[in-house]
Amino acid sequence: MLKFSPRKIKPIFNQNSSSLPFLSSSATPSFPSSPYLSNLASEILNSQTPKQALRIFNSASRTVNPTKTLKLHSAIIHVLTEGKLYVQARCLIEDLIEILRKTRKPHKVCSSIFNALNQVQSSGCSRTVFGVLISALCEKGLADEGYWVYSKIGKLPAVQSCNALLHGIMKTGRVEFMWEVYGNMVLNGLSPSEVTYGILIDASCDRGDITKARLLFEEMIEKELKPTVVIYTTLIRGLCAESKISEAESMFSRMQVAGVVPNLYTYNTLIDGYAKMANVQKALKLYYQMLDQRVLPNNITYSILIYLFCKIGGLAAFRSYFVHMVKFNITPNVYIYNCLMDGFCDAGDLSAATDMYFEMETFGISPDVFTYGILMKGYCSVGRVEEAENLLPKMNETGLTVNSVVYNTLIDGYCKKGRMEKGVEICSQMIEKGIQPDIVTFCTLINGYCKVWQLEAAMGLYYEMKIKGYKPDVVAYTSLIDGHFKYGYTNAALQLHKEMIDDGIVSNVFTVSCLVDGLCKDGRINNAINFFLEQNKANNITYSILISGLCKNVSDYAAIIEGHFGAKNVVHVMMLQADMVKMGILPNVFMYKVLSRGYHEMARLCDYLLLANDILNGFFGPMAAVLTAVKGTAVIGVDL
């Protein structure tokens, strides 16, 4: 069951919580008798006005501990609900939930309040009371308990309570229950509101079902419900997430035609969509349109622009927007500086990144753990790992807790330099600080040991990972496979590849290249060919390995080309033909027959004509010998 930490709602009965003894979990010295409590509850229920009932409740509650009895609370909640003071009733229930949660599990809290409310004989407002209870439970992050109440009462509460339940369930991610509640609303004739549709559209967009979100949007238009700026923005966000930027633009125009004014979040959402498409022109145009409409940007706006400038390699140009930030009284925060530093590091401009760091100190902006992590990554990327490690004392001085990401960055930096003893030393420091090595730590060290030919140490870490229940990533597996091939342990390398597949790790192009190379060097030509033909991942490196290690003669090329023809991979055939020319390998008569037959079967007339031209020009050797050998292979009316 998922739990949440909802916002704390202050009691509205009095400003000073100390004047509300019924909100305290401490027991009072004396406890009233049951008849006395029953009489007080009756007085509250029979009060002429809610205000009078509250006076009685506040006075009596000084001697009542809600963990012992809920009679008075259930009575006042009924009175407040009957008087349509729903907010007050909900806030009282929420505070009651907080008190009871200290000593009871959530479901017990829920059932205690439910049973207490159910025992009150009221004038028929019980459904509304339970609706308020559902709202309070969902507000406190107890959507499962809210759904339990919904299931128990047998009747639908008001649409506001249904909306609270829909929203609460949506936050748990269990949307099947959300659609069930919505279905019951429609089935029982309870008209969904704009809020209802907003929740459903939000849930659909979060799950990537933009089609359903748009259908719900059109449905509410048909029912003459007016979509709010939140609903329009949600749809724009969903469309941008699916890279449907033109449809997002149409939705943005549609909201303006409908008279709905875009807010800051709307503009940020669409600017972010443009940024992800690297469309700097449209992003900046919308940014200035936002300013023209007197919608002031915030730090999020400028963070999006930083991301955009990083993506197009023009981060230096963003410095001019600092003037805008000052103009709009927006102080660049640590997040803005972190984004800038990260962008400069990715661009290889470590000097600019360190300037940003010192500028932060000048303006009194305290670096956080991400700031130091970014700087360390930058130093390590240029091989200055010692300088990266020197930042650790600064982090400790400022009271920052060094996390596994920072330690892993340093370990990776030392491993890439081949200094495994330092990498292990940093790992030991991490463990001393109470941070256990994670999958990234193990994979980094394995990769490092393989690069310095310490295969035994790498395998030791591999077995330790397995014991701890970790799965090595594709990089670690590829390093181990490559290491075993280099030592001539072909069978062990193939076993590791099998274990990798069994772990559900998908081979990448480097894994494929490594296996083809290893099999070729071990003389397992047929295995290399078969494995290569089975793979969908191949790049220039793979082909080069295959050419240099496998294809020393034309017959090997012909075997691979036949396999590609069988798999209908004409592009790969053409690549191999080009590779033959580059390697200076002259195709022979047998190769021509393979190519001719393949193009014939795939009805590739243009390619066949080019092939015919090559033979006529003597590219495949003496023309007479070739024509004799391939007699009868002319295709599609071409007579050789």
Averaged pLDDT in 10-residue chunks for the chain of 640 residues: 32 33 38 67 84 85 76 87 90 90 90 87 72 92 91 86 92 88 88 93 92 94 93 96 94 95 96 92 94 92 87 76 82 86 86 89 89 93 91 89 92 92 92 89 90 90 88 88 88 90 85 81 73 62 53 56 65 64 56 65 58 52 42 42
Sequence-distant (≥ 6) Cβ neighbours of residue 406 within 8 angstroms: 369, 372, 373, 376, 392, 395
Q: Say if residue 242 is exposed, middle or buried (CB neighbours under 10 Å; 0-12, 13-18, 19+).
A: middle
| pLDDT on residue 599 | 62
Cβ atoms of residues 337 and 373 within 8 Å? no
| pLDDT on residue 291 | 93
Cβ atoms of residues 143 and 120 within 8 Å? no
Nearest to 182 by CA among 198, 124, 542, 172: 198
d(C-alpha 106, C-alpha 97), whole Å:
8
Nearest to 103 by CA among 141, 142, 67, 140: 67
Which token pair is 285? Answer: 């145009």
Backbone φ, ψ for residue 101 (5° rounding): -65, -20
Cβ atoms of residues 213 and 205 within 8 Å? yes
Task: Find tokens 């809920």 and name the residue.
Answer: 70
Opening angle at CA 108, ends 106 and 111, nearest 5: 110
Which token pair is 337? Answer: 């500086």
What does DSSP assign to residue 549? I
d(C-alpha 459, C-alpha 450), whole Å:
9
Cβ atoms of residues 453 and 483 within 8 Å? yes
| pLDDT on residue 551 | 47
Task: Kindly tell me the sign of the dihedral angle through the C-alpha atoms of 12, 18, 21, 26.
Answer: positive
d(C-alpha 217, C-alpha 225), whole Å:
10
d(C-alpha 339, C-alpha 370), whole Å:
10
Helices 350-362 + 369-381 axis angle, to 10: 160
| pLDDT on residue 44 | 84
Nearest to 248 by CA among 224, 283, 220: 283
What does DSSP assign to residue 315? G
Backbone φ, ψ for residue 43 (5° rounding): -60, -45
Cβ atoms of residues 196 and 162 within 8 Å? yes
Nearest to 168 by CA among 148, 191, 184, 187: 148
| pLDDT on residue 10 | 33
Nearest to 172 by CA among 128, 211, 206, 213: 206
| pLDDT on residue 604 | 62
Helices 509-521 + 525-534 axis angle, to 10: 160
d(C-alpha 468, C-alpha 610), whole Å:
59
Cα separations in angstroms, 473 against 354, 431, 446: 32, 22, 10
Q: How many CB atoms lie within 10 A of CB 611?
A: 22
Which token pair is 151? Answer: 């299931």
Which token pair is 248? Answer: 């997002």
| pLDDT on residue 226 | 93
Which token pair is 560? Answer: 């691979």
Cα separations in angstroms, 335 against 22, 302, 314, 350, 386: 43, 10, 19, 18, 26
Nearest to 134 by CA among 116, 119, 152, 120: 152
Residues 75-122: pLDDT tens digits? 888 989 888 899 999 999 998 999 888 888 999 999 998 988 888 866
DSSP count for the chain of H helices, then E strands: 36, 0
Cβ atoms of residues 223 and 216 within 8 Å? no
Cα separations in angstroms, 158 against 73, 323, 498: 22, 51, 58
| pLDDT on residue 124 | 55
Cα separations in angstroms, 339 against 275, 336, 478, 539, 566: 14, 5, 32, 33, 50
What does DSSP assign to residue 568? T
Q: Half-sphere exposure of residue 597, counting CA atoms within 13 Å on the CB side?
A: 16
